[in-house]
Chain A
Amino acid sequence: MARNSPFDPELVRELAGLISETDLTEIEVEKGDLRIRVARQPAQVVSVAAPHHSPAPVPAAAAAPAPAAAMVAPPAKPSAREHPGAVTSPMVGTAYRRPSPEAKPFVEVGTRVEAGQRVLLIEAMKTFNDIVAPRSGTVTEVLFEDGQPVEFGEPLMIIE
């Protein structure tokens, strides 16, 4: 985020301190063309992302974590984020796999999609945003649970 600007570890440290004091999950500071965003994973968010290279026997998104087993998982692997077929979140919000609670999911693992096809929705402040396939291919992974909070840039789906 601090591209082309001198990195300021003091400021980051200060923001990190402020985050833990205030219970915020994220702070973004902008000054001129310097922008620093400090965020932390809220404790109740359980990432269900499976490393995309592991031969998962069941689709990751189908496995609801049992409450007893719920623990803070590490953020999605960089491998998913950097995957050329990753569909990433353009905003902070809540991701949905279907247009309404009773409707069928837009896509499932194995669904063949065309570039520009709607594959999920992200709700933020009562705004429902289409998220479309950036390219044609087959959905090989769904990396979020229906109704899960998501962060900016978080990989949500892999299309190969």
Chain B
Amino acid sequence: MAFNILLVDDSLTVRSVIAKALRLAGVDIGQIYEACHGAEALTVLEREWIDLVFADISMPVMDGEEFVDRLAASGAIEHLPVVIVSSAGSGPRIQRLKDKGVRAYVQKPFTPEQIREVVDKVMGVTSHE
């Protein structure tokens, strides 16, 4: 099954690196969508079917924590896996985000293998085609 994936980060560099890691890791990708911050990501989610979200924490306009709060408030986070990708992943903050429904955390810098592992885990992929 091909996944539609939304990448939420204010850095084009990070969005490019995650997209490349997903491809290198052999993740079955349908479409990749991009957003520069949480508010833009919410607009994409209203418009498109998304299977999986990778989001940063520190972003302008709406940061990752507020984005997760919005998804939790609407109940969307229960059926939309959100993975936080950040270098600002202090233990207490990651726990707060997981308590709100975030499925996994990837600390930068990461490898394609780590991205693959987290996709398999949160999407319930059990075998590689």
- Whether A and B are associated in the same complex: the answer reads no
**Which residues of A approach B to under 8 Å, CB–CB?**
none
